[in-house]
Copies of this chain bind each other. A is one copy, B any other.
Amino acid sequence: MDSPLVPFGRPPTERADAARNREVLLCTARAMIAELGADHVTMDGLAERAGLGKGTVFRRFGTRAGIFRALLDAEERRFQCEVLSGPPPLGPGGDPVDRLIAYGRARTRFLLERHEIARASFERKGVAPPAVGPNFSRPHIRMLLAQAALGLPDLDTLSLQLASALEGPALLFLVADLPPGGRAAGCAEDDLGALLADGWQTLVERIARR
């Protein structure tokens, strides 16, 4: 399923120059977003600043939204890498309930911090992508619930519901019509992030209570 929040397969073999162009383009796009905001990143502007031809940008990303999907893809991979092999409490090694709490906190921050990129990755304004779903969160939550051995029945369903509890509010924030302007959006995002992270912790602590 192609989704801005979920990696879609990169071609397994990528020629060295294509890989280098890709890295240069993503790096440049990141810098432009930080400087100008996502709204001001265009295919032409990106090509010019990266010193590459427009054809290269077009072949690589297809559409403007494709730039942002590729960025999210790269950041999602980095996030998953931290979760799967970084230090505890997010990475392996600690108590599974602590890890579940740390995961939800990190995931909330990840989703909200990237909401501008995620929004720009939609092909049409005001429309959620078809397959934004807890595709990584669900199996990860399921694994941690199993490790924690809490005596819960049907971890398949429960992990789907908890992944929805975790990712659903961030998705609603994503598709909501917010006032434009990075700073105002940034504030709402920080507040919401803290509330959702604490709410997630409450939920997990209650579920894990013996």
Contact = CB atoms under 8 A, between A and B. Distances in A.
Contact of A154 (B124, B127, B152, B199): B199
Contact of A128 (B130, B158, B162, B164): B130
User: For the complex formed by this chain, how many copies does it contain in all?
Assistant: 2
Contact of A198 (B154, B162, B207, B209): B154
Interface of A is mostly: helix
A180 interface: no
A126 to B, nearest CB: 5
Contact of A202 (B153, B160, B196, B199): B153
Nearest to A134: B168
Contacts of A167: 164, 168
Interface of A: 124, 126-131, 133-134, 152-154, 156-158, 160-169, 172, 175, 195-196, 198-200, 202-203, 206-207, 209
